[in-house]
Amino acid sequence: IAGITQAPTSQILAAGRRMTLRCTQDMRHNAMYWYRQDLGLGLRLIHYSNTAGTTGKGEVPDGYSVSRANTDDFPLTLASAVPSQTSVYFCASSEDRNQPQHFGDGTRLSIL
Amino acid sequence: AQSVTQLGSHVSVSEGALVLLRCNYSSSVPPYLFWYVQYPNQGLQLLLKYTTGATLVKGINGFEAEFKKSETSFHLTKPSAHMSDAAEYFCAVSVGATNKLIFGTGTLLAVQP
């Protein structure tokens, strides 16, 4: 079934450690996104990519980095994790801008 | 700047009753509007979208929403709630040349038997 695959599904991480969340889509969508979801705050955009080779900052980019080496993959890296980065992270993709976004099932990340 | 306000973080209805989830947006240019549903431990699924044209939009699972420019609203409705509708619902706006979605804070819908 076509869609978005996120890995891992959950992770507990010590503060200060480096962590990469993986996201792969098989729909050949141009645009990809990373969100974090926190209780009472909804989803907030971390970084996005309109097309392979380009990335941009969202609403809450600090402490995160992304890369888009090809169309299918859009990893999110926490260089040095902090407890405030405890959240559920969702990757999404869309065929083009202003098209509906398709979401993965999320990665639940706890930073201790 | 664009923003979305969902009135009511929790809404409870009886099975068979009307569902009304409120969404108001702020945008200086014509918006694209979306409703998403999230079931526990899952990602978001698109319910419906408004881009241009007909202001009454029908989505999946019997939901519909009406774009009212004069009220800057995009409320989600369903005539008769089903137990399976219990989930969290998010309204979102996407504007102009960007493809960034601005989400509301969500409304958790409970359906009582």
Please give the pLDDT value at position A33: 94
pLDDT per residue over A22-32, tens digit each?
Answer: 999 999 999 99
CA distance B49 to B72: 15
Return the bridge partners of A23, or none.
A6
CA distance A16 to A80: 4
Averaged confidence pLDDT in chain A = 94
| Residues with Cβ within 8 Å of residue A32, at least 6 apart in sequence | A23, A25, A48, A49, A68, A74, A91, A92, A93
Q: Which residues of B touch A97 (CB under 8 A)?
A: 94, 97-99
Least-confidence region, from A11-15, A98-102, B44-48, B86-90: A98-102
Please give the pLDDT value at position B4: 93
Q: Confirm or reject contact between A44 and chain B (CB < 8 A).
A: yes
CA distance A6 to A38: 18
Q: Confirm or reject contact between B98 and chain A (CB < 8 A).
A: yes
Please give the pLDDT value at position A103: 93
Asked whether residue A9 carries a pLDDT value surpassing 80, the answer given is yes
Counting residues of chain B whose pLDDT is more than 70, the rounded percentage is: 96
Please give the pLDDT value at position B97: 60
Counting residues of chain A whose pLDDT is more than 70, the rounded percentage is: 96
**pLDDT band, residue B98 (cuts 50/70/90):** low
Asked whether residue B95 carries a pLDDT value surpassing 80, the answer given is no
Closest approach of chain B CAs to the CA of A1, in angstroms?
15
Asked whether residue A18 carries a pLDDT value surpassing 90, the answer given is yes
Q: What CA–CA distances, in Å, run from B9 to A66, B34, B93, B108? A: 32, 18, 18, 6
Name the residue in chain B with its Cα closest to that of A31: B99
Name the residue in chain B with its Cα closest to that of A4: B43
Asked whether residue A2 carries a pLDDT value surpassing 70, the answer given is no
CA distance B61 to B85: 8
Out of A40, A98, A102, closest to residue B32 by CB:
A98
Instruction: Supply the DSSP string of B5-63, one letter for each residue.
Output: EEE-SEEEEETTS-EEEEEEEE-SSPEEEEEEEE-TTS-EEEEEEE-SS-SEEE-GGG-
Asked whether residue B31 carries a pLDDT value surpassing 90, the answer given is no
**Looking at residues A76-82, what average pLDDT do you find?**
97
**pLDDT band, residue B54 (cuts 50/70/90):** confident
Please give the pLDDT value at position B90: 96
Window 19-38 of A, Cβ < 8 Å to B: 31, 33, 35
Please give the pLDDT value at position B104: 93
pLDDT per residue over B62-84, tens digit each?
Answer: 999 999 999 999 999 999 999 99
pLDDT per residue over A33-78, tens digit each?
Answer: 999 999 888 899 999 998 999 999 998 999 999 999 999 999 999 9
Q: Is B105 within 8 Å of A41 when comparing Cβ atoms?
A: yes
A contact test, residue of B100, B102, B105, B108 with most A CBs within 10 A: B100
**Looking at residues B1-22, what average pLDDT do you find?**
94
Q: What CA–CA distances, in Å, run from A97 to A45, A79, B111? A: 15, 29, 35
